């Protein structure tokens, strides 16, 4: 296990040095970015079992605020990062506080409604670029603008953030919060009867998740130097986090990373093959994959792997939920 | 006078919201299940109307019926193929199954019909009538009245017939209903059929007078969430009242703040409602 972790770390560190083609370096950065946002979603969607279908609101806050500071007031975009995290925490409270005393469905519906509300407002708000979007700085000599020509610096920044996020998640797994969140996911009423402060812990999970999702959005904005309502707040942003986490395995540490490593290269490849016309097709395929995962393998690839590799005596019957 | 006209128009559209939301509330009340693809059922109802009008040139009574039958079959099929398996699984599977289904249906429609808005070719329901100084579009009037009548019919079906009692029995206690010789599977499939059919008719009714595109489903799903939450868990009369209210609020906010913000205000209302009164206007506990 320890050797596997070491090998994995080395592989990720060496990747852009071995594959020096800029196309592959860029794809590597995109994989890491998808892994960051899906891992962030996983904290509340996987560990706490509260399914957000509107995480684009946090991602969008993270992407918009740094570029807003730069475009209108020529402030360093980096200043926007803590600001965006603060806004995301506020949004998390607005959505989570009322819905976390109710059943799980209400939270999902509220995330969808608030994300769509924000998308409509931003699409019509001149200050935020309305439908056109915001631009970041051109490549500049100031390192704190975080604008680089090559994808390699972004790759290593993303890798560092992912490592931090996975370390935080790993620490959370071992902590009281992690155990309580899993208890909540397994049975909210049972957890409550054992004295778990259910609502407060769900809120903690959402806020932690929102902060990292916002950071992912900021990283995206630094890398592309541009954001518009579709790329920052569109439904595909939320869908991408869900599908990457669900494919790999929700509620597991490395599931989202696994999902990103499989899905993002596939997506890059289909976009290259089908050109711009592939966007609609991507949604159809994503929708189909999400339905199939929900129907046949809600635990994702991680659970499938554990079931296939478990010793025969301990192998539990396949979890068929059918009546 | 313009204000009065806005109010009447809002109430007529609100009756259609009531019809499509009563389908959502039926599933929610019966199975404690939220269908994120409900708006896509409305959208498919619109395109069934579109295809039939373009191909056969028939009137609203025919394509309304076709949308009802087509969506009923789709609802039952989705229940047996997908919902029956996921409804006892983890909540993750429940939410993701219909959320994925919504994407699949929406973007398949994108692919078939292109993302552009379309309108039905000229319909038999044209013209306006003057009702004491209020000018009413005949198509909207018919849509509103038919939708309100069908919502009431669904309520009567649930409360006054043997089938309705069986549906409510399964909703109240699945085990006990089974002991009484009711097959819960059949009843739940029927509920999905009725739910999808009501969404499909609502779509066909709106298609007569409004332009639509494959992306409209999300707006209708969110509107239905607001209506159902406002009207209270599983209550068809609540959905009727709340549907009229939401239609009215939308019409007034479009009138006062501009059409862009009519949905923003309704979604904002939803969040406010979750803060203040999540059990709905008529609900208790």
Measured from the Cβ of residue B241, the count of other Cβ atoms closer than 10 Å reads: 19
User: Is pLDDT larger for residue A267 or for residue A48?
Assistant: A48
- Between B94, B106, B274, which is nearest A110 by CB? B274
Tell me the CA distances in angstroms from B253 to B17, B211, B265, one per residue in order: 16, 20, 7
Range with the lowest mean pLDDT among A165-179, A268-282, B175-189?
A268-282
Exposed, middle or buried by CB within 10 Å (0-12, 13-18, 19+), for B180? exposed
Distances, alpha carbon B224 to alpha carbons A114, A125, B38, B98, B232, in Å? 15, 26, 8, 15, 12
Q: To which residue do tokens 């999400």 refer?
A: A290
Residue A173 CA to residue A157 CA, distance in Å, equals 24
Cβ contact, residue pair A106, B268, below 8 Å: no
Residue with tokens 């018919």, as numbered in its chain: B142
Long-range contacts of B263-269 (CB under 8 A, 24+ apart): B263/A116, B263/A117, B263/A120, B263/B219, B263/B222, B263/B223, B264/A117, B264/A120, B264/A121, B266/B222, B266/B223, B266/B226, B267/A113, B267/A114, B267/A116, B267/A117, B267/B222, B267/B226, B268/A117, B269/B226, B269/B230
> What pLDDT does B283 receive?
60
Contact A114 B271 (CB under 8 A): yes
Share of chain A above pLDDT 70, in %: 90
Measured from the Cβ of residue B169, the count of other Cβ atoms closer than 10 Å reads 17
User: One digit per residue, pLDDT tens: chain B, 285 residues?
Assistant: 788 888 999 999 999 999 999 999 999 888 888 899 999 999 999 999 999 998 888 888 888 999 999 999 999 999 999 999 998 888 888 888 998 999 999 999 988 998 889 988 876 677 788 777 778 888 888 899 999 999 999 999 988 999 988 988 888 888 888 888 888 889 999 999 999 999 999 999 999 888 999 989 988 998 998 898 888 777 888 899 999 999 999 999 999 988 888 888 988 888 888 888 777 766 654
- How near does any CA of chain A get to the CA of B277, in Å? 10
Residue A226 has pLDDT above 70, yes or no: yes
Residues 81-120 of A with CB under 8 A from B: 94-95, 97-99, 101-106, 108-110, 112-114, 116-117, 120
Residue pairs spanning A and B at CB distance below 8 A = 150
- Across residues A68-80, what is the average pLDDT? 84
User: Any chain A CB within 8 A of the CB of B112?
Assistant: no
Give B-chain residues touching A106 at CB under 8 angstroms.
229, 274, 278
CA distance A117 to chain B (A): 5
Check whether A274 has a pLDDT greater than 90: no
Comparing CB atoms, the residue among A101, A117, A283 nearest residue B267 is: A117
CB contact under 8 A, A108 and B108: no
Q: Is the confidence at residue A170, as pLDDT, over 90?
A: yes
Kindly report, residue by residue over A77-121, the tens digit of the pLDDT. Answer: 888 899 999 999 999 999 999 888 877 678 888 898 899 999 999
Note whether A250 contacts B: Cβ–Cβ < 8 A. yes
Q: How far is B4 from chain A (nearest CA, A)?
A: 28
- pLDDT band at residue A278 using 50, 70 and 90 as cut-offs: low
CB contact under 8 A, A287 and B111: no
Contact B253, B208 (CB under 8 A): no
Contact B16, B67 (CB under 8 A): no
How far is the alpha carbon of B133 from chain A, nearest alpha carbon, in Å? 35
Q: Which of A92-106, A207-221, A235-249, A250-264 has the highest mean pLDDT?
A: A207-221
Q: Which of residues 37-66 of A touch B (CB under 8 A)?
A: 45, 49, 51, 53
- Residue-wise burial string across B8-33, b where 16 or more C-beta atoms lie within 10 A, e elsewhere: bbbbbbbbbbbbbbbbbbbbbbbbeb
B91 with A51: Cβ contact below 8 A: yes
Least CB–CB distance from A98: residue in B85, B86, B274: B274
Return the residue in A241, A290, A320 with the most chain B beta carbons within 10 A, the one to mutate for interface testing.
Answer: A290
pLDDT for the residue B222: 87
Give A25→chain B minimum CA distance, Å: 31
Most confident of A3-12, A306-315, B129-138: A3-12
Distance of alpha carbon A267 from its chain centroid, rounded?
16
pLDDT > 90: percent of chain A: 40
pLDDT at B11: 94
The interface residues of chain B toward chain A in range 16-45, judged by CB-CB distance below 8 A, are 32, 34, 36
- Cβ contact, residue pair B93, A49, below 8 Å: no
Is the pLDDT confidence value at A46 over 70? yes
| Partner B contacted by A193 (CB < 8 A) | no
Q: Quick one: closest CA in A to B233, which residue?
A: A106
pLDDT score of A79:
87
* A276 pLDDT above the threshold of 60: no
- CB spacing of A286 vs B222 below 8 angstroms: no
Q: Mean pLDDT across the stretch A151-166? A: 92
Chain B 225-254, CB below 8 Å of chain A: which residues? 225-226, 229
Helix (H, G, I), strand (E, B) or coil at B259: coil
The Cβ of residue A267 has, within 10 Å, a number of other Cβ atoms equal to: 21
Task: Please state, as a whole number, how many other Cβ atoms lie within 10 Å of the Cβ of residue A163.
Answer: 13
At residue A272, the pLDDT reads 73
Calpha distance B266→B252 (Å, rounded): 11
Q: Which residue has the higher pLDDT, A206 or B228?
A: A206
Residue A144 has pLDDT above 70, yes or no: no
Q: Which of A106, A113, A242 sits opposite B222 (nearest CB)?
A: A113
Identify all chain A residues contacting B259, using CB atoms and an 8 Å cutoff.
none
Measured distance CA(B207)–CA(A202) in Å, rounded: 42
Tally of CB atoms within 10 A around B275? 12
Locate A284 and state its tokens.
């159809």
Confidence of residue A47 (pLDDT cuts 50, 70, 90): very high
Q: Which residue in B87, B99, B222 is closest to A116 by CB distance?
A: B222
Distance from CA of A64 to the nearest CA of B (A): 20
Taking CB atoms and an 8 Å limit, are B275 and A116 in contact across chains?
Answer: no
- Decide: B16 and B237 in contact? Cβ < 8 Å: no
User: Is pLDDT of A314 > 70?
Assistant: no
């Amino acid at each position: 296990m320890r050797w596997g972790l070491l090998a994995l770390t080395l592989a990720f560190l060496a990747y852009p040095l071995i594959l020096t083609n800029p196309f592959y370096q860029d794809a590597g950065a995109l994989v890491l970015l998808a892994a960051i946002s899906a891992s962030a979603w996983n904290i509340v969607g996987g560990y706490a079992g509260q399914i957000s279908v509107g995480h684009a609101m946090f991602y969008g806050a993270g992407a918009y605020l740094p570029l807003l500071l730069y475009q209108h007031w020529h402030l360093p975009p980096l200043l926007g990062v803590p600001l965006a995290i603060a806004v995301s925490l506020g949004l998390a409270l607005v959505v989570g506080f009322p819905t976390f005393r109710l059943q799980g469905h209400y939270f999902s519906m509220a995330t969808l409604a608030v994300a769509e509300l924000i998308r409509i407002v931003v699409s019509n708000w001149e200050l935020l670029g309305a439908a056109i979007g915001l631009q970041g700085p051109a490549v500049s000599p100031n390192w704190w603008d975080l604008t680089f020509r090559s994808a390699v610096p972004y790759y290593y920044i993303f890798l560092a953030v992912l490592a931090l996020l996975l370390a935080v998640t790993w620490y959370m797994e071992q902590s009281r919060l992690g155990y309580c969140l899993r208890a909540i996911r397994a049975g909210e009423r049972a957890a409550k009867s054992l004295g778990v402060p259910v609502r407060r812990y769900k809120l903690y999970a959402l806020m932690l998740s929102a902060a990292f999702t916002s950071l992912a959005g900021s990283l995206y904005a630094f890398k592309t130097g541009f954001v518009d309502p579709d790329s920052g707040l569109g439904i595909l942003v939320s869908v991408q986090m869900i599908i990457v986490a669900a494919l790999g395995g929700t509620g597991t540490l490395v599931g989202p990373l696994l999902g990103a490593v499989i899905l993002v290269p596939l997506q890059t490849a289909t976009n290259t093959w089908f050109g711009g016309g592939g966007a609609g097709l991507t949604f159809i395929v994503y929708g189909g994959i999400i339905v199939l995962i929900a129907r046949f393998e809600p635990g994702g690839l991680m659970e499938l792997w554990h079931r296939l590799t478990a010793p025969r005596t301990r192998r539990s019957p396949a979890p068929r939920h059918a009546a | 006078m313009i204000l009065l006209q806005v109010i009447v128009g809002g109430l007529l559209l609100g009756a259609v919201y009531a019809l499509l939301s009563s389908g959502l509330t039926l599933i929610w009340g019966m199975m404690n299940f939220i269908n994120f693809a409900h708006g896509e059922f409305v959208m498919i109802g619109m395109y069934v109307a579109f295809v039939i009008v373009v191909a056969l040139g028939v009137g609203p009574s025919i394509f309304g019926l076709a949308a009802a039958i087509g969506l009923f079959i789709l609802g039952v099929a989705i229940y047996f193929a997908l919902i029956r398996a996921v409804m006892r699984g983890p909540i993750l599977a429940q939410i993701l199954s219909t959320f994925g289904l919504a994407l699949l249906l929406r973007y398949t429609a994108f692919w078939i019909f292109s993302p552009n808005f379309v309108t039905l070719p000229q319909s038999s329901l044209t013209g306006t009538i003057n009702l004491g100084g209020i000018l009413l579009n005949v198509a909207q009037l018919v849509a509103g009245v038919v939708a309100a009548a069908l919502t009431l019919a669904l309520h009567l079906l649930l409360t006054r017939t043997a089938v309705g009692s069986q549906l409510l029995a399964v909703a109240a206690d699945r085990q006990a209903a089974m002991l009484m010789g009711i097959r819960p599977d059949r009843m739940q499939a029927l509920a999905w059929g009725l739910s999808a059919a009501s969404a499909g008719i609502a779509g066909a009714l709106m298609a007569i007078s409004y332009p639509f595109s494959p992306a409209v489903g999300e707006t209708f799903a969110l509107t239905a969430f607001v209506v159902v939450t406002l009207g209270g868990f599983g209550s068809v009369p609540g959905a009727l009242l709340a549907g009229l209210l939401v239609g009215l609020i939308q019409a007034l906010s479009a009138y006062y703040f501009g059409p862009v913000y009519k949905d923003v205000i309704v979604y904002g209302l939803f969040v406010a409602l979750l803060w203040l009164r999540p059990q709905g206007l008529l609900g208790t506990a």
